[in-house]
Amino acid sequence: MIGARLKLARAAAGLSLRALEARLTGLVTAQAIGKYERDEMMPSSSVLIVLARALGVTEEHLLNTADVELVAVEFRKQKLTSAKDDATVRARILSEVERYLEIERILHLDSAAADLPRRRSVRDMAGVERAALALREQWQLGDDAIPNLCEFLEEKGIKVCATDLPGKVSGVQALVRTTTDARLPVIVVNANDPGERQRFTIAHELGHLYLSVADGLDVERAYMRFAGAFLVPAALLKREVGEHRRSMSPRELLAFKLLFGMSAQAIADRCKDLGIISRSALAGVFSLFNARGWRTDEPLAFRKERPARFERLCLRALAEGLISESKASELLQKTVAEVGDLLDAPPEGFDAPGPRL
């Protein structure tokens, strides 16, 4: 039966039943589509073809019954404003993860376990700092900035996806349960955000997956503190900035932005958290940035974080003849011509922290 798959594909496309009916130019009514989704009726082969084409998937995708399920999902920054947006985002997450798991199955790769330690309880901000440092030590990161956060976390078995999210949502972390009952951690970042915000969001969502915050501690602030501490360890920051400062210039903060891979405003906030600058000095920095319009459009926007493993796996399977060009097109959500161009084109440059030129 195709009901659940069809409903998922429609939600991922952001279409209502009426909107899908209009896209099918009267071939099938909204009422009939609703019956397909409830498995009260099965579409004919000709209708299945046009449904798949309208939703940007293949007929095989709609007929596939290897579903995954969202066990838990939490949106960063604020909740979505409508049930429709919520359903659309959840469907996109499942669609992304489903395609990711499918190519791993085709290549016989194990995706059952992520190299993520057991959740760590924290009761105060000092505990958050220690937790971030412990995770960096576990992963042997030392004190240096992490050049490509997406690539690193994917090596650790954490699925990272970049997709269109509503403007008020920076990121999502979720647990996905597969048919084998494996629970996979997933981080989804807004593909429209600048690179420095994406990096902070990914680290923030990692905090959600790793920390268990005690009652009485500001949960959101704890995850923000974790993100800053994971991206820029206290020892590294104090070594470069100094133990105590009365003020910091915009140029200096922007230079540290390039060095650490975190926004200048987040670096200033981290300096305040560590007692390097005072709260009043931080307010002065924010006031200056606000006057220059930099609070919303900070200079030296980073190249976007780009999860690349999924694409590499798809191209590997295609090159080895394990999937067809049409299957690669479905998995990558690109046209067959675009997939052909990918095979012949050089990859994008190394995504180390740096300005978008």
Report the alpha-carbon distance of residue 128 to residue 122 in Å, rounded.
Answer: 6
Q: How many domains does the chain have?
A: 1
Burial (CB count <10 Å: 0-12, 13-18, 19+), residue 85: middle
Burial letters for 250-284: b for 16+ Cβ neighbours within 10 Å, e otherwise? beebbebbbebbbbbbbbbbbbbbbebbeeebbee
Q: Could you tell me if residue 28 is inside a domain?
A: yes
Burial (CB count <10 Å: 0-12, 13-18, 19+), residue 129: buried
7 CB-near residues (< 8 Å, 6+ apart): 37
DSSP letter assigned to residue 334: S
Q: Could you tell me if residue 123 is inside a domain?
A: no
Q: Could you tell me if residue 33 is inside a domain?
A: yes
Residue 17's CATH number = 1.10.260.40
Residue 289 falls in which region: left (phi positive, over 0), alpha (psi -120 to 50) or beta: alpha
Angle between helices 250-260 and 234-241 (to 10 degrees): 140
Q: Could you tell me if residue 6 is inside a domain?
A: yes
Query: Residue 16: which domain range?
Result: 1-65
pLDDT in tens, the chain (357 residues): 678 778 878 877 778 888 888 888 878 888 988 888 888 888 888 888 888 888 877 676 677 655 555 555 655 545 555 666 677 777 777 777 788 888 888 998 876 567 788 889 999 999 999 999 999 999 998 888 888 888 889 888 888 888 877 777 788 777 777 666 567 788 888 888 888 999 999 999 999 889 999 988 988 899 999 999 999 999 999 999 999 999 898 899 999 998 888 999 999 999 999 999 999 999 999 999 999 988 888 888 888 887 888 889 999 999 999 999 988 988 888 888 888 888 887 766 444 444 443
Q: Could you tell me if residue 127 is inside a domain?
A: no
Q: Could you tell me if residue 75 is inside a domain?
A: no
Q: Could you tell me if residue 7 is inside a domain?
A: yes
Q: What phi, psi does 120 have (nearest 5°)?
A: -110, 130
Q: What pairing do the DSSP bridges indicate for beta strands 120-122 and 69-75? A: unpaired
User: Angle at CA 41, nearest 5°, toward 36 and 45?
Assistant: 80
**Which residues on adjacent β-strands are paired with residue 288?**
none
CA distances from 268 to 71, 213, 222 (A): 36, 24, 17
The alpha carbon of 188 is separated from its chain's Cα centroid by a whole number of angstroms, namely 2
CB-based contact 154:168 (threshold 8 Å): no
pLDDT score at 130: 95
Report the alpha-carbon distance of residue 191 to residue 163 in Å, rounded.
Answer: 5
Q: What pairing do the DSSP bridges indicate for beta strands 159-163 and 69-75? A: unpaired
Q: Could you tell me if residue 266 is inside a domain?
A: no
CB-based contact 111:182 (threshold 8 Å): yes
Token couple for 66: 């290897």
